[in-house]
Amino acid sequence: MPIQERVKLRELLPEDRICNYNEIALGLNERELEYEANRCLQCKKPSCVKGCPAGLNIPRFIKLAKEKRFNEALSEILEINPFSATCARVCPYGFQCEGSCVLNKTGRPIAIGAIHRFISDYGEYKMKMVNESERVMGKVAIIGGGTAGLSAAFELSRHGVDVDIYESRPVIGGLARACIPPYRLAREVLDREIVYILSHGAKIKNNITVGKDIPLKDFLDMYDYVILAVGASKCWSLRLPSNEGEDFFAYSAIEFIENYMFRKKIFDRGLKILIIGGGNTAIDVGRISIREGLHPLIVYRRGKEQMPALPKEIQEAEEEGVDFKFFEVPKRAIIENNRFKGIEALKAKLGAPDESGRPSFEVIEGSEHFIEGDVLVSAIGQEVDSEVLTGCDIHLERGLLPHDFGGEYKDKVFSCGDAVSGPSVVVKAMRSGLEVARKVIGKLKENAL
């Protein structure tokens, strides 16, 4: 049987998106949904499911969507993914569900992400409290109100557990709110899911930074269990020597994005922004810069093919006018009259693969040259902010939290999300939050025996 073409996913054109933050992907209409759902082969052993970090029963939700049973489909999804509409927008499908679809071999995988989005947008969010017999008693503190913490809160509160979420920011949502730009995830979609999650009973305590305002130790007496879901959003600092002697520190990419997401205009329009890094965060700094009337230039030490950013994100950034310079390694900052004027950089070339199999880069000595810019932004990596551990005898391991803790924290404190895995994706943080909550529910059940 010939494989039908994949539906062409409708998106805003570059000229219609660079002056606003509207969602670029427009989703499927009913006719497109029907066409795409009919293309699904309903494999007996579906490989797409293996590619979905949430483990959603993809053939099942596609079948229900085909039969227009959207409420049922969403109800089943919410059982294992309370961030349904969010994931359906921000998941890197090409490397997950769609990348694992058998039709991917033909270049025409089912548009699983778009079908998932349709169900999430048109199905009804119904509460998911468990039966009385499955409920447990207990009190749990969750530190961090991002995807992982909120997912843990969902699972615990729907089992009847008393949950308090402590969050240092004035608003809940973590990086999904502070950093994922609305052109990928409209804020009303995120808000809708958070309202849904909290409707199961968890309470929020905003503007409290655990470690600074309350020591972690105090939680041991106040709660049965504590879940650390603090993310990994402290940018690695980029410190360059300068022509004026004193070292120069680049602006943090997370701070840059967060300021603009919370509507603070930090730089005058027209400035040239030099962004160091090659990942998705660097790309988002570039794309936000375009929307804010700035001129971004991404400076990366390897080539375009080696960039860790998703190819689609790179392509969209190029379409929007973000400039790139490849095989460039910053050497020092150039300052004139106390103002940053740019960087002196060295050219680089690819070298032998490193331990991870990625080609290394080799600096070409004597290739110094000047790259002009008004602002330097570092997007070279992130780690956990250790503030939460202030006063505890717990230490980060390679910039991350361990899964379980020793000493007085043993079997009382657990961790999840980016804080444990390192910078990852929403769907994995969500899954990790659910899993840690299930572990805690198991312990509460044992205690009750």
Ligand X SMILES: Cc1cc2nc3c(=O)[nH]c(=O)nc-3n(C[C@H](O)[C@H](O)[C@H](O)COP(=O)(O)OP(=O)(O)OC[C@H]3O[C@@H](n4cnc5c(N)ncnc54)[C@H](O)[C@@H]3O)c2cc1C
Q: Which residues bind ligand X (CB under 6 A)?
A: 90-91, 143-149, 166-169, 174-176, 179-180, 184, 209-211, 229-231, 233, 254, 257, 280-281, 284, 385, 387-388, 417-419, 424-427, 429
Residue 316 C-beta: closest distance to ligand SF4, Å? 18
**Near ligand SF4 by CB under 6 A: residue from 101, 112, 176, 314:** 112
Taking CB under 6 A as the rule, does residue 123 contact ligand SF4? no
Q: Residue 350: which H helix or E strand, with range?
A: strand 339-353
Quick one: what does residue 211 bind among ligand SF4, ligand X, none, with the CB cut-off 5 to 8 Å set by partner type? ligand X
DSSP string covering 300-323, please?
A: -SS-GGG-SS-HHHHHHHHHHT-E
The answer to whether the CB of 313 falls within 8 A of the CB of 285 is: no
As to burial, measured by CB atoms within 10 angstroms (0-12 exposed, 13-18 middle, 19+ buried), residue 369 is exposed
**Near ligand SF4 by CB under 6 A: residue from 116, 159, 177, 301:** 116
> Terminal CA-to-CA distance of the chain, rounded, Å?
58
- Nearer to ligand SF4 (CB atom), residue 56 or residue 179: 56
What are the helix (H) ranges across 91-140?
A: 97-100, 112-122
What lies within 8 Å, CB to CB, of 44 at 6+ separation is: none
Residue 201 C-beta: closest distance to ligand X, Å? 19
Taking CB under 6 A as the rule, does residue 235 contact ligand SF4? no
The structure tokens listed for 67 are 């039969």
Interface with ligand SF4 (CB under 6 A), residue total 15
Residue 43 C-beta: closest distance to ligand SF4, Å? 14
Taking CB under 6 A as the rule, does residue 427 contact ligand SF4? yes
Q: Residue 413: which H helix or E strand, with range?
A: strand 413-415
- Nearer to ligand SF4 (CB atom), residue 97 or residue 194: 97
Using the contact rule CB under 6 A, the part of the chain among 8-16, 19-27, 111-119, 296-304 near ligand SF4 is 111-119
Phi-psi region of 352 (alpha: psi -120 to 50; beta: other; left: phi over 0): beta
Quick one: what does residue 112 bind among ligand SF4, ligand X, none, with the CB cut-off 5 to 8 Å set by partner type? ligand SF4
The total of other beta-carbon atoms located within 10 Å of residue 57's CB is: 18
Taking CB under 6 A as the rule, does residue 58 contact ligand SF4? yes
Residue type present at position 169 = R
- Nearer to ligand SF4 (CB atom), residue 81 or residue 252: 81
Quick one: what does residue 54 bind among ligand SF4, ligand X, none, with the CB cut-off 5 to 8 Å set by partner type? ligand SF4
Taking CB under 6 A as the rule, does residue 64 contact ligand SF4? no
- Closest C-alpha to 325, from 290, 282, 289: 282
The answer to whether the CB of 163 falls within 8 A of the CB of 136 is: no
Taking CB under 6 A as the rule, does residue 425 contact ligand SF4? no
3-class SS of residue 234: strand
Residue 164 C-beta: closest distance to ligand X, Å? 11
The structure tokens listed for 223 are 């709660």
Quick one: what does residue 96 bind among ligand X, ligand SF4, none, with the CB cut-off 5 to 8 Å set by partner type? ligand SF4
The structure tokens 């943080």 sit at: 429
Chain residues that interact with ligand SF4, rule: CB under 6 A: 52, 54, 56, 58, 81, 87-88, 91, 93, 96-97, 112-113, 116, 427
